[in-house]
Amino acid sequence: MNTLAFILCFLFQYEPPKEALQFVTTEKLKQHIAVLSHDSLEGRGPSSRGDKKATAYIVSQMKQFGLLPAGENGGYLQKIPLVGMLVNPSAKFVFSKGKNSQTLNYSDDFVALPGAHEPVINVKNIPVVFVGYGIVAPEQRNWDDYKGVDVSGKILLMMNDDPNNGDPNFFAGKGRTYYGRWTYKYEIAAAKGALGAIVIHTTRSAGYPYRVIQNSFSAESFDVDEKNSAPKLRIKAWTTEEATRKYVELAGYNLDSLFAMAQSPAFKPVDLNIQLSVSMQSTVRRLETNNIIGKVEGSDPVLKNQYIVFSAHYDHFGIGRAIDGDSIYNGALDNASGTSLMLNLAETFASMNEKPKRSLLFAAVAAEEQGLLGSQYFANNPTVPIQSIAANINTDVMNVTGRTTDISFQGDNRSSLGNDIAVVAKEMGLTVMPDRAPEQGGFYRSDHFSFAKAGVPAISVGGGSNVVGVDTTILKKIRTDFGKSYHQPSDEMKDYWIYDGGIQEAEFIIRLVWRIGNIVEMPYWNPGDEFEAVRKASLKKVKR
């Protein structure tokens, strides 16, 4: 064995300090969740009183742990300029054809935002065009739902998700690519010059019921207040499947038939020969929130200039539409729990006498529930060079069901981090399971995606599903409760949660970080991955 091989082998087998693997406890995990999800923080809506209380608490913890400030101007904070938008619920969508019309009511039938941050939108008789999936993907057999048709100034109606013809090499097979995300739909519609875009909600294509969207838009929504010349939609909307069927029938079409047409690569936009009139008023205001960033400096004089970034969003929906008399969206699991896990990891690494060779950044990011805004802002305005970020590890919703014999990660199959995960899983006697619901596009739905778009190899902890040593009645209760409480006021801390699974996740991440934090080679995207080119271009700039 040559010297380099010996060194690498030594590093691969080297375990973190034993005390680090035993540092995280149930009480430590419960402490942060209890504080962040308390009613007094009012659901931690961006720029709210609760947001400010959460920020102060997280900063105090980072200071207490001994993390170095890694935000702006020598502090822990990175300010994010936001635009807040609250739509008046009296808003109406009126679809018309000749003398016939179909009126949609806000919240019950549709939700919408003024994409250009306008306080008043009044438009009349704008043509509606069905554009299938609304995708332009040359690398996917030249898929183009627009076929050169000029849709500028029109309202585009499009399906959620992306095409699936059963071929695992076509788009993502049973999974989902970024083309299937509603955020992409609005981006491409704006680039095509459309006045507005409507995404059709179905539970199957979204992966969650309409009430999740309904609740998300019942309170103030937010966007980054960016001063640029990028095209913007005036209207960004969702309509329910039931409401869509009605106004499509008004146009003389059957929604199922349109869906079927959209599956073909030969699909061309369909002018529905109906017009949309919109009357919508919104309260628009400028405000700020913050990312909160602390650092544990690496031990190697060279590698300490590279970083592993931990991310967890500390925000939730604040105060919104009351359900069963409760209007505070506490966000205990989503994502006080993930933030607690990250803070525990920060305290663990800060307490070590021997640190990993690479430095570690711990970023509690804001406004994830509003479209990954905090992580997006950090990735576009990093407080360290983006090329120096070796990897991102995201914690969004901690395992509170108990220890498992398996574990999963969003994105582990995309980069060399998957190899490192496999090694750690073997050390811990765990089976690495693939994404349990690839059709929901989970990789594109949390903060690690913002890092991936910037070229950084990124993963999000998905936890395990094969729970051991827990009464089946309690396990069913926890899982059923989470399904009902997702993005609801009932997402509150429960006394029957079991924290052993969170402790197990912490141990796995500590082992993983010790491994990738000490190996000289930086993580890399697998050949052909959609983010590989961005990373290569980023690293090439450094070499010049």
Please give, one letter per residue, the 3-state secondary structure of 370-426. CCCHHHHHHHHCCCCCHHHEEEEEEECCCCCECCECEEEEECCCCECHHHHHHHHHH
% of the chain residues with pLDDT over 70: 97
pLDDT at position 393 over 70:
yes
Which segment of 223-227, 391-395, 445-449, 475-479 scores lowest on mean pLDDT?
A: 223-227
Rg (CA), the chain: 24
Q: What is the predicted pLDDT for the residue at 5?
A: 43
Q: What is the predicted pLDDT for the residue at 543?
A: 57
pLDDT at position 3 over 70:
no
What is the pLDDT confidence band of residue 219, given thresholds at 50, 70 and 90? confident
For residue 164, cis peptide bond before it (omega within 30 degrees of 0): no
Q: What is the predicted pLDDT for the residue at 469?
A: 92
Taking all residues of the chain, what is their mean pLDDT, rounded to a whole number? 93
Arithmetic mean of pLDDT, 129-137 = 96
Q: What is the predicted pLDDT for the residue at 321?
A: 85
pLDDT at position 6 over 50:
no
Q: What is the predicted pLDDT for the residue at 542?
A: 61
Q: Please tell me what DSSP assigns to residue 38.
A: S
pLDDT at position 12 over 50:
no
Which segment of 84-88, 141-145, 176-180 scores lowest on mean pLDDT?
A: 176-180
- Whether the Cβ atoms of residue 115 and residue 193 lie closer than 8 Å to each other: no
* Burial letters 145-175, b for 16+ CB under 10 A, else e: bbeeeebeebbbbbbbbbbbeeeeeebbeeb
DSSP-derived pairing of the beta strands 406-410 and 458-463 = antiparallel
Q: What is the predicted pLDDT for the residue at 541?
A: 67
Number of CB atoms found within 10 A of residue 200's CB: 23
Condensed to tens digits (0 to 9), the pLDDT of residues 337-365 reads: 999 999 999 999 999 999 999 999 999 99
| Residues facing residue 77 across a β-bridge | 292
DSSP-derived pairing of the beta strands 120-130 and 270-296 = antiparallel
- Whether the Cβ atoms of residue 425 and residue 415 lie closer than 8 Å to each other: no
> Domains of the chain, with CATH numbers?
34-65+297-543 (3.40.630.10), 85-283 (3.50.30.30)
- Phi, psi angle pair for 282, to nearest 5°: -135, 145
Arithmetic mean of pLDDT, 226-245 = 91
pLDDT at position 269 over 70:
yes
Condensed to tens digits (0 to 9), the pLDDT of residues 13-54 reads: 568 998 999 999 999 999 999 999 999 999 999 999 999 999
Which segment of 75-84, 95-104, 120-129, 531-540 scores lowest on mean pLDDT?
A: 531-540
Condensed to tens digits (0 to 9), the pLDDT of residues 465-508 reads: 999 999 999 999 999 998 899 999 999 999 999 999 999 999 99
What is the pLDDT confidence band of residue 460, given thresholds at 50, 70 and 90? very high
